[in-house]
Amino acid sequence: MITEQEFTRSYNLYSAKVYRLCLGYASGNHDIAKDWHQQAFIKVWKHRNSFKAQSSIDTWIYRIAVNVCLGDLRKSKKDLSVKEELLSPLPESESAPIDTEENVQRLYRCIDLLNKQNKALILLELEDIPQATIAASLGLAHGTVRTRLSRIRKSLLKCIKNGK
């Protein structure tokens, strides 16, 4: 059971990460991400009495957030289509900074091309959530998460460089 104080502390600690996780699922649409973020924390509050502390609270919150995003995507088939021009190959300029806004947008467009579970894995990884927590949140073995993240990173790098 989570007290009101614990809920407030958890919200303050994890709200930004949950929002960015939702933003990744929403393909950068801030309105949808805000809605999912709010829905996730409403569910956390409503179901606070069912939290049994068998996992850490952050694992439980991330799982709820992923479920909210995936559930809404399945239910409403929201239009989060990828713009083709954003998937074109990067310019060959070696001097371009790696973390430009365009490259970050390209990264998220490539993430959109991943299947749902791989998308959840990389979005949680991008938030610096420990792999053990990611594994527990998604019900996977830690070794499986490590292997899949390695493959996902290679796939994303190829997508960003080649637009595929």
Quick one: what percent of the chain has pLDDT higher than 90? 29
CA distances from 26 to 11, 49, 98, 129, 147 (A): 20, 29, 24, 19, 25
Reported as a pLDDT band with limits 50, 70 and 90, residue 88 is very low
Give me the mean pLDDT over the 70-76 stretch.
79
Reported as a pLDDT band with limits 50, 70 and 90, residue 56 is confident
What per-residue confidence (pLDDT) applies to 99? 53
Does the pLDDT value for residue 83 go beyond 60? no
Q: Number of C-alpha atoms within 13 angstroms, CB side, residue 154?
A: 5
Return the sign of the alpha-carbon dihedral for residues 61, 62, 63, 68. positive
Q: Kindly provide the b/e burial profile for residues 15-30, where b requires at least 16 CB atoms within 10 angstroms of the residue's own CB.
A: eebbbebbbbbbbebe
Nearest to 113 by CA among 154, 156, 69: 156
4-162 folds as Butyryl-CoA Dehydrogenase, subunit A; domain 3 (1.20.140)
- The domain spans of the chain are 4-162
Does the pLDDT value for residue 100 go beyond 60? yes
Transcribe 11-58 into DSSP letters: HHHHHHHHHHHHHHHTTT-HHHHHHHHHHHHHHHHHTGGG--SSS-HH
Identify whether the C-beta of residue 2 lies closer than 8 Å to the C-beta of residue 10.
Answer: yes
CB atoms within 10 A of CB 110: 23
Rounded to whole angstroms, the Cα distance separating 65 from 43 reads 9
Express each pLDDT in 16-43 by its tens digit.
999 988 988 887 888 999 999 999 999 9
Does the pLDDT value for residue 85 go beyond 90? no
Does the pLDDT value for residue 150 go beyond 90? yes
This prediction has a pTM of 0.65
